[in-house]
Chain A
């Protein structure tokens, strides 16, 4: 008797479970997997393009290569969700955003302000926040997604991995996720930057799988510099060196390469591999005015040596180190001063430091970015030489004379 009661209670519980149903159930094959999204300006609102994967073509099997690995759908709407909703009139299955890798913004959208389109991306529960942003430099955003990629069969994936590797070893790009971008936007005293992407070659050749059949593809996508924002509006472009310096200061450099001339510049250059970098921002008040000290410490190895120097001598190494130091100092100084002068946008996060250290003084500042233009910034670069590689002397050190 007791047993039957239990069974009955259990049955009732199980029935209650059914109330919630399978509302969010999708079969895997009935999803349009979105990997890339491009946001362009339209006359009234936005023009959205999504790059959707065609899984059958991605997984190489017999007969692969007949159709393209991805398909681009474009639609206009007053807002992002409206455009995406209208897009279902074109896509075979509901769009699925959990595997979104890249969001490309056109320069026009970036200059008009990115806060509005970002709202949908951060509000949507399906989106993760690990996809990267880029700003199209010389094309519309949709055009970027229309270009096939060599080797990696999904263009958006190629963009993603390309950005990751270059960020890891070159440091002149920036992999900015939605989370970092929204944090930068919401932080007073720090402005966001987004990496730029450039179409190199014949644009119209990209939109065909035949672009993948060349050894030297007629069109490629290349990351180039970073877009500087003032608030949510883009104000200009950073050069490669400015980007690198900015990444040093914001502690985003994993590894990179630095060059410096030989003591006798005619001999050539020394290439140094930066293995570790750490930056520290400090702020002091002098006569009520904030004075910043940016301290960048690098640890580097010798990667390439063209000079006639005897590396077995400690003095030589100190000499190399000294040149590095001076060069780093000079680069930091000129680049930061240039950003101050040209953009007046605090992409380094100095204001945030001031805010947390001297909240009272911070409160008295009306427009931080205006103040930033003229604030005094001291820099101190310290480069330490760690290893010289697996050979001691340059190959032709003895025979050069």
Chain B
């Protein structure tokens, strides 16, 4: 039963009397057993003034005991009240020690508050109710991020609780300019989401575009930030991600300071960042925590690894089946001798190995932790030694697949790696049919496609295409932090100057 289907009661005002309200409540929740109704009677002056009341809460989700205690104590106090509403008002304003108190006048408000973990206090003959923030959140503690780990740098990662995540941001960025706009998304899940940005830095147009796209989302459930990502991304038909995601608060803060907008979603540690540019997926937060010379080298290494992961199998196929003249003579002998007795063409061989590796990788992500070790042994033996010894594949192909796989893991953002994995197979197909001609054709196609992408109005390939000279400082290499005077121009920040020129 949805709120809407509840008819007039859904949006109507609460009634005066307790009994019909409670009846309606049980009807609306379908007598779900986790909705607890605790009836209370506040008995003042030995039965002279009896206030019938109830505390409604979701079991396990809230911890209403201290609140109920204070409520009952109020009944025993000397203080007299003219009407139930006065008592409730007094209680809400003077007694309740929990942080958040809301006044509820309509059914919608009541259900929203109840289902988001508040305790609802109702009194007979009172036209409103109050909701007390007694949430008792059962969630994972702040832990080290699993996916984007660093050697040096903050070790805390987001958790599944939006409010904790926001507090982590606030702690790092104690500026009144950091703005948080909350929005409930999902007709049924009513998930809390927050748009975070720096006013005075972030481009107003981007912020309002984010708001606009978020508002158009019509979905019944938001369980992860990807639900939102797929709604608000610029281009659906592309393997490349146009929205960045991270579970690191420091990454979010750094991006806010560059003028980007973050979207946090309750229930997932992964927050979104827009606009996301191609080069951003090659940046790791650690780039800024290690010396710039080292970071620059590592960053170039990543671009190299990107090309390796993308092109190695297709180059291998193209050169060994079409352009044998390009191989150094001794390498040719060695490859030819390895291929003797391999029953498949190079492309089939490569496809078998790549698919086998993808299967192994997927299995190692999904399988129970306990059998991980036996799995990896089987994997190594099957994909490596045994396949070569059985003459199914050549040893060189195992090396090609391995270097491809390892290079793929060098990419700091998982989702750009996914793009590479998908495109790789298309390039292999092109290589098998047209040789290097096909590979380059495919590569040019990828380049054209990348150049056509946009992320929230910013060209995806910026600052390389269009070329933005000052932004080169943090693209292929990273200059020392004291030299990064300006924020990335590609993002059109309102305040360009980041630090004083030294």
**Cα distance A21–B333 in the bound complex, in angstroms:** 27
Q: Is the CB of B434 within 8 A of A22?
A: yes
* One of B324, B333, B337, B441 near A26 (C-beta < 8 A): B324
A61 to B325, CA, bound (A): 25
Query: How distant is the Cα of A99 from the Cα of B326 in the complex, in angstroms?
Result: 9
B33 CB within 8 Å of chain A = no
Contact check, A20 vs B434: say whether CB atoms are below 8 A apart. yes
Chain B proximity of A20: nearest CB distance (Å)? 7
Give CA–CA (A126, B325) in the complex, Å: 8
**Is A33 an interface residue when CB atoms closer than 8 A count as contact?**
yes
CB-defined contacts of B336 to chain A, threshold 8 Å: 28-29, 31, 33, 53, 55
Interface string of B241-272 (1 = CB under 8 A from A): 00000000000000000000000000000000
CB within 8 Å of A: which of B312-340? 320-322, 324-325, 329, 332-340
Complex CA–CA separation, A101 to B330 (angstroms): 12
B116 at the interface (CB under 8 A from A): no
Residue in A closest to B318 when the chains form the complex, CB atoms: A25
Contact count band on A: 20 to 34
Given A27-B346, A28-B346, A99-B329: A56 and B324 interface contact (C-beta under 8 Å): no
Residues of B contacting A55 with CB < 8 Å?
332-334, 336-337, 340
* B345: chain A residues within 8 A (beta carbon): 27
A265, B481: Cα distance in complex, Å? 74
CA distance A126 to B336 in the complex (A): 18
A58 within 8 A of B: yes
B237 touches A3 (CB 8 A): yes
A58 CB contact (under 8 Å) in B237, B320, B333, B434: B333
Report how far A59 CA is from B342 CA in the complex, Å. 16
Q: Which residues of A contact B433 (CB under 8 A)?
A: 17-18, 21-22
- Chain A residues near B346 (CB, 8 Å)? 27-28
Interface check A305, CB cutoff 8 A: no
CB contacts under 8 Å to A, within B137-153, are none
Given the complex of chains A and B, what is the CA–CA distance between A313 and B447 in angstroms?
69
Q: Mark B44-72, 1 if CB is under 8 A from A, else 0.
A: 00000000000000000000000000000
Smallest Cβ distance from B55 to chain A, in angstroms? 55
- Which of chain B's residues have a CB closer than 8 A to the CB of A59? 333-334, 337-338
A157 at the interface (CB under 8 A from B): yes
A33 → chain B closest CB, angstroms:
7
Residues of chain B contacted by A57 (CB below 8 angstroms): 337
Distance (whole angstroms) from the CB of B488 to the closest CB of chain A = 31
Residue A303 CB within 8 A of the other chain: no
- Contact (Cβ within 8 A) B332 A29: no
Chain B residues within 8 Å of A18, by CB:
433
Complex: A59 Cα to B346 Cα, angstroms: 20
With A3-B237, A22-B433, A56-B340 known to touch, is A27 a contact of B329 (CB < 8 Å)?
A: no
Smallest beta-carbon distance B306→chain A, Å: 24
Which of A27, A58, A154, A157 makes the CB contact (< 8 A) with B337? A58
- Chain B residues positioned under 8 Å from A126 (CB to CB): 325
Measured CA separation A302–B336 after assembly (Å): 47
User: Are B333 and A24 in touch, CB under 8 angstroms?
Assistant: no
Contact partner of A157 (CB less than 8 A), chosen from B324, B329, B441, is B329
Interfacial chain B residues near A53, Cβ < 8 Å? 333, 336
Tell me if A128 counts as interface (CB < 8 A to partner B). yes
A96–B329 CA distance with the chains assembled, in angstroms = 12
Give A163 Cβ to nearest chain B Cβ, in Å. 15
Whether, in the assembled complex, A98 has its beta carbon less than 8 Å from a beta carbon of chain B, the answer is yes
Structural contact, B324 and A98, CB atoms closer than 8 A: yes
> Which B residues lie within 8 Å of A35 (CB)?
329
B333 touches A28 (CB 8 A): no
Which residues of B sit under 8 angstroms from A26, Cβ to Cβ? 321-322, 324
Residues of B with C-beta under 8 A to A22: 432-434
Question: In this complex, what residue of A is CB-closest to B349?
Answer: A27
Chain A contacts with B in 54-68, Cβ cutoff 8 A:
55-59, 61
Contact residues in A for B341 (Cβ distance below 8 Å): 29
Cα of A20 to Cα of B341 in the assembled complex, Å: 29
In angstroms, Cα B337 to Cα A53, docked, is 10
Cβ distance A277 to chain B, nearest Cβ, rounded Å: 30
Q: Do residues B325 and A28 form an inter-chain contact, with CB atoms below 8 A?
A: no
Cβ contacts under 8 Å, B321 to chain A: 25-28
B-side contacts of A154, CB under 8 Å: 333
**B322 in contact with A24 (CB, 8 Å):** yes
Are the CB atoms of A128 and B320 closer together than 8 Å?
no
Residues of B contacting A20 in the complex (Cβ-Cβ under 8 angstroms): 434
Report chain A residues within 8 Å CB of B342: 29
Enumerate chain B interface residues (CB-CB to A < 8 A).
Answer: 237, 320-322, 324-325, 329, 332-342, 345-346, 432-435, 438, 441
* Known A24-B322, A28-B321; 8 more pairs at CB < 8 Å: A22-B434, A27-B345, A28-B339, A55-B332, A55-B336, A57-B337, A96-B324, A126-B325
Interchain residue pairs A-B with the least CB separation, the first 8: A98-B325, A55-B337, A55-B336, A29-B339, A59-B337, A58-B333, A56-B337, A55-B333
List 16 A-B residue pairs with CB atoms under 8 Å apart, sorted by A's residue number. Answer: A25-B435, A27-B339, A27-B346, A28-B332, A31-B336, A33-B333, A35-B329, A53-B336, A55-B334, A55-B336, A55-B340, A58-B334, A59-B333, A59-B337, A59-B338, A96-B324
